[in-house]
Amino acid sequence: MSGDKEYFDLLFQKELIFLNEHFEDQADLFQKISARLYSQSYVDSGFLLSLQTREKEYPTGLHAPAFDVAIPHTDPVHIKRPFIVAVRPDPPLDFQAMGMEQDHVDAALIFILGLQREGNQVLLLQKLMDLFLDEQKMKQLLRIADQEEWLKEIQYFIKGRD
């Protein structure tokens, strides 16, 4: 578990937290975030298309108790360095709900996952699901305005106590 905590530290970086940023729609979000990830050598040139394709085939929007979320991701082959992009869009963005063709969510928090190691993905997804079910913590993540404070809160929740 100690190795997992170190791995999770690598995933969350201040420069990959976007609070109260405006995006026209999901396509705009994917394009802008993919360009930033590519320019910072987190992903290869196929990442954007792969992300868009995967989201169409396997939607990632989720209804959570506090507010809707989304966890888009793609194949590890396009990831050069592991990451998680955290986006709190203003306003929330439309995503198709996971497993429900006609249902949509207005995602107020989006985690774009760029994982390379399959084993950690399951544990990380479990941690994120626990977070999504914690109404108090989720509402707190909506209120925090500072990237540094937001980063500390999410790392504390995902990693747990040392």
CATH of the domain at 58: 3.40.930.10
| pLDDT tens-place string over residues 111-149 | 999 988 665 677 888 889 999 999 999 999 999 999 999
Q: Is residue 37 part of a domain?
A: yes
* Gap between the Cα atoms of 54 and 38, Å rounded: 18
pLDDT band at 101 (very low <50, low <70, confident <90, very high): confident
| pLDDT tens-place string over residues 131-140 | 999 999 999 9
pLDDT band at 1 (very low <50, low <70, confident <90, very high): very low
pLDDT (mean) for 65-83: 94
* Gap between the Cα atoms of 93 and 108, Å rounded: 7
Expressed as residue numbers, the domain containing 26 is 2-157
Q: Is residue 43 part of a domain?
A: yes
- The total domain count for the chain is 1
The helix (H) or strand (E) run that includes residue 18 is strand 12-21
Q: Is residue 109 part of a domain?
A: yes
Average pLDDT, the chain: 90
pLDDT of residue 138: 95
Q: Is residue 151 part of a domain?
A: yes
Contact, 51 vs 74, CB < 8 A?
yes
pLDDT band at 160 (very low <50, low <70, confident <90, very high): low
pLDDT of residue 7: 66
Among positive and negative, which fits the CA dihedral 5, 158, 126, 60?
negative
Which residues sit opposite 79 in a β-bridge?
43
Among positive and negative, which fits the CA dihedral 105, 53, 41, 12?
positive
Q: Is residue 162 part of a domain?
A: no
* Gap between the Cα atoms of 15 and 135, Å rounded: 26
